[in-house]
Amino acid sequence: MTGEERRDSLADQAADWVPPWERPDYVPPAPAPSVRPEPSPEPSPEPEVEAVVEPEPEPEPVEEQSALALIDDAELRGALEAILLVVDEPVTEITLAQVLEQPTERIAALLPEIAAAYTTAGHGFELRRVAGGWRLYTRPEYAPYVERFVLDGQSVRLTQAALETLAVVAYKQPVTRSRISAIRGVNCDGVIRTLVSRGLVEECGTEPDSGAFLYRTTTLFLEKLGLDTVTDLPPLAPFLPDDVEEISDAS
């Protein structure tokens, strides 16, 4: 069989082929029966168990406590002394009782005992009741020593040399040390150091030509004299001597 004959035979077979479902003797297959899933059994409910509640124990009776925390006399005495050391005015018994949370009667009874103990021991201070309150004071017999301590260095007067030097600085400021010495006619180094240590005079730079330190008065100087600025100083003319021209030439 030639190639052309083979191709013609295959073409004829393909043309004569009929699908099975189009053939006269075709019987369709029976459909498969549907299977419904069986429902799962519901879980049986668990039996309810009644909760057993135990009764709460009744609170034990508590004895009523005082609102005030009672402390012994030694601690209360120390607390009173500590407060009295820092007050700057007499403090009443009621105030002390409120701060320490103690009965006022107890505070009122203890304060005179503390005062008597100070007197018996001979301390340099005493506890007094004044202006309706209590406060610590130094004893009158020790007043001279207290005054000496408080006023030490404050009531010392300036020497005449220091006053003259201070006047020169006040009216000629800023001024050098050599200029001050020339005006006064004496060496003023020690006096200037004293005025600087007292806070009445201070350095305020140097002179451009010589490099010498310049001095001026301080704010403390104005406070001591009750002045606002150095321009409030009184005029110098009424205090100058008659031979002012000779002094000016010498300076």
- Whether 164 and 184 have beta carbons less than 8 Å apart is answered as yes
Residue 235: pLDDT over 70? yes
Segment of 11-20, 23-32, 86-95 carrying the highest mean pLDDT: 86-95
What domains are there in the chain, each with its CATH number?
Answer: 73-144 (1.10.10.10), 160-250 (1.10.10.10)
Region class of 126: left (phi > 0), else alpha (psi between -120 and 50), else beta: beta
* For the ranges 34-38, 146-150, 176-180, 227-231, the one whose mean pLDDT is highest: 176-180
Residue 35 has pLDDT above 70, yes or no: no
Which residue would you say has higher pLDDT here, 131 or 125? 125
> What is d(CA 198, CA 170) in angstroms, rounded to the nearest whole number?
15
Residue 236 pLDDT class (50, 70, 90 cuts): confident
Amino acid at the residue 38: E
Question: Which of 188, 182, 180 minimizes the C-alpha distance to 159?
Answer: 188
pLDDT band of residue 73 (cuts 50, 70, 90) is confident
**Secondary structure (H, E, C), 41-81:** CCCCCCCCCCCCCCCCCCCCCCCCCCCCCCCCHHHHHHHHH
Residue 248 scores a pLDDT above 90: no
Q: What is the model's pLDDT at position 96?
A: 93
Determine the Cα angle at 73 with ends 72 and 76, to 5°.
Answer: 90
Q: Residue 217 half-sphere exposure, CB side, CA atoms within 13 Å? A: 24
Instruction: Give the residue among 118, 115, 117, 83 at the shortest CA–CA distance from 100.
Output: 83
Average pLDDT, the chain: 78
| Residue 215, burial from CB neighbour count under 10 angstroms (0-12, 13-18, 19+) | buried
pLDDT reported for residue 132: 80
The Cα–Cα gap between 175 and 215 comes to 5
pTM: 0.39
Using one digit for the tens of pLDDT, what is the confidence trace for 195-216?
998 889 999 988 888 888 999 9
